Structure 1
Amino acid sequence: MDMLLITAGPYQFLAKFESNAPKTTAVFRRLLPYRKQLIHVRWSGEGLWVPLGDEDLGLAFENHTSHPSAGQILLYPGGYSETELLFCYGGVSFASKMGQLAANHFITIVEGNEHLRALGELVLWKGAQGVVFELADDDR
């Protein structure tokens, strides 16, 4: 199982790819290392997102959910709303101005969960933070 190191703002998280989202995982792995900015969601609750606009990653729905848990990362392949990553730090009901959405849960944070709320509040009160997704090595 390949592990990911996620550096978001001043925090680091160790995460794993979900085996029940193989197509989403394969597409995302080709993008690594992946560098973007996290901003706070507008409609969904306690989550951060990476807006990807009309970027077409060639994905469909695999194991989609509208109610992810803290520490889960989803990829919405586009359609009713723009393509995006959703990084959950608390209670989330995934939605847009168009209404409820569902996205592929393809990454789960397995270490560093104690920093999720602090990251979410940092982005909420201080603004966008850099995020880097990369394959973890043996040391981390």
Structure 2
Amino acid sequence: MTELEFVVAGETYTATVLEDEAPESARALEAMLPLESELMHVRWSGYATWINVDDAELSEVPRENHTVYPSRGDILLYPGYKNEQELLIACGPTCFKSPAGELAGNHVACLDATRDELAAIEERTLRDGVQPITVRRR
């Protein structure tokens, strides 16, 4: 089982990659690592944050283990079928959508963070703007 570290503004969290449920997405995510980027508040989806991954090659990633309604801590990989490519991290009630409508992202990993930690991440991006994030193998 692959584990990742998500370092958000100096705070480190562990995520478990769902290799059996989303194998192609897991391989695509691993190919992006290490990823240094910006974590932003979602614009349309509710209590969540996202990382733009438009530079990654995701055109061959199929729909797998996909959902519109991720649970708190779920990490979705969206290969960009209707919108820009991204990793979405659900921090609370979330309906993944964009100006193009609802989007189904591939549930590729689960962030091991408490309800309060996820709320703090989401609130920080809403209040203070983008936050530095690094995603790497653990």
Q: TM-score, normalised by structure 2?
A: 0.91
Paired position in structure 2 for 1:11: 11
2:5–2:12 CA contact under 8 A, matched in 1: yes
- Listed as ranges, the gaps of 5+ residues in structure 1 are none
* RMSD across aligned positions (CA): 1.5
1:13–1:112 CA contact under 8 A, matched in 2: no
Distance (Å, rounded) in 2 between the aligned partners of 1:23 and 1:64: 12
Paired position in structure 2 for 1:108: 110
Correspondence 1:1-80 to 2 at 5 A: 1-18=1-18, 19-53=20-54, 55-57=56-58, 58-80=60-82
Aligned counterpart for 2:89 among listed residues 87, 90, 94: 87
Distance (Å, rounded) in 2 between the aligned partners of 1:77 and 1:24: 9
How many residues are matched? 136
Distance (Å, rounded) in 2 between the aligned partners of 1:14 and 1:55: 22
Q: TM-score, normalised by structure 1?
A: 0.90
Identity %: 35
Query: Partner letter of residue 14 of structure 2?
Result: L
Q: Which moved more, 1:54-63 or 1:94-103?
A: 54-63
Query: Partner letter of residue 46 of structure 1?
Result: Y
Distance (Å, rounded) in 1 between the aligned partners of 2:102 and 2:132: 27
